[in-house]
Chain A
Amino acid sequence: DQQVKQNSPSLSVQEGRISILNCDYTNSMFDYFLWYKKYPAEGPTFLISISSIKDKNEDGRFTVFLNKSAKHLSLHIVPSQPGDSAVYFCAANIGTNAGKSTFGDGTTLTVKP
């Protein structure tokens, strides 16, 4: 039973346009969500997060939107840059669970110059 799903394995966008990466979850106990970016041959690095008490969090070019009723979150990157090309993982946490995260399968983003 996969509790966090990223249904698009890959996404390709043109430089300067918006990238939208999606993530769905099934467990209503999740109350904190994170996005990580991973380059080849490196470990994932934290990108942005959102608590379930919010519906939007913004950090520079990156914005995460949370729709609790739909159990859906999305990461928007505006404008997209070639350096954003990476695998993006969505992760979800339950507040009482000792920091354990459940990760999605990842979406490979390619930004074309």
Chain B
Amino acid sequence: DVKVTQSSRYLVKRTGEKVFLECVQDMDHENMFWYRQDPGLGLRLIYFSYDVKMKEKGDIPEGYSVSREKKERFSLILESASTNQTSMYLCASSTRTSGRLYEQFFGPGTRLTVL
């Protein structure tokens, strides 16, 4: 059974803290993604990675950075958390080689609250 796991389901941090969100997939997927989901705004892409050590900005990268040192792991970093980064964060992965192209497998999400 394919799986994407995220390090925390719920997280509460204070303004200015550095926050790490971890994502691990066990499917040997090349592509990994970080989204945030906010009411009425759908899923917005923060960063994605199509290979180890490779990263590309998505639609809303400001205030975030990422790291992909190993194929299975993709980390999202909030350098200095702010209240407007309170959101649901979703990690996903996909492969370029399967028959179902572009299908993304999502983790359960991390609900981050910044106080």
**Which chain A residues have a beta carbon within 8 Å of chain B's beta carbons?**
6, 9, 32, 34, 36, 41-46, 49, 89, 93, 98-106
* B positions within 8 Å CB-CB of A: 4, 31, 33, 35, 40-45, 48, 50, 56, 58, 90, 92, 94-96, 100-109
- Which residue in A34, A41, A103 is a CB contact (below 8 Å) of B109? A41
Partner pick for A44 among B56, B90, B100, CB 8 A cutoff: B90
Q: Which residues of B contact A100 (CB under 8 A)?
A: 33, 45, 48, 56, 58
A93–B33 CA distance with the chains assembled, in angstroms: 14
Q: How far is the CB of B54 from chain A (nearest CB, A)?
A: 9
Bound-state CA distance A91–B20 (Å) is 27
Question: Are the CB atoms of B101 and A46 closer together than 8 Å?
Answer: no
**B contact residues around A49 at 8 Å (CB):** 100, 102-103
Q: Are A45 and B102 in contact (CB under 8 A)?
A: no
> Hey, which chain A residues are within 8 Å of B108, CB to CB?
41-43
- Report yes or no: A44 in contact with B106, Cβ–Cβ below 8 A: yes
- For the complex with contacts A6-B42, A98-B96, A106-B42, 17 further pairs of A-B residues with Cβ separation under 8 Å are A34-B102, A36-B104, A41-B108, A43-B106, A46-B103, A46-B105, A49-B103, A89-B42, A89-B43, A99-B94, A99-B101, A99-B102, A100-B48, A101-B102, A103-B44, A103-B45, A106-B43
What residue in chain A is nearest B48 (Cβ atoms)? Answer: A100
Q: Which residue of A lies closest to B9 (CB)?
A: A41
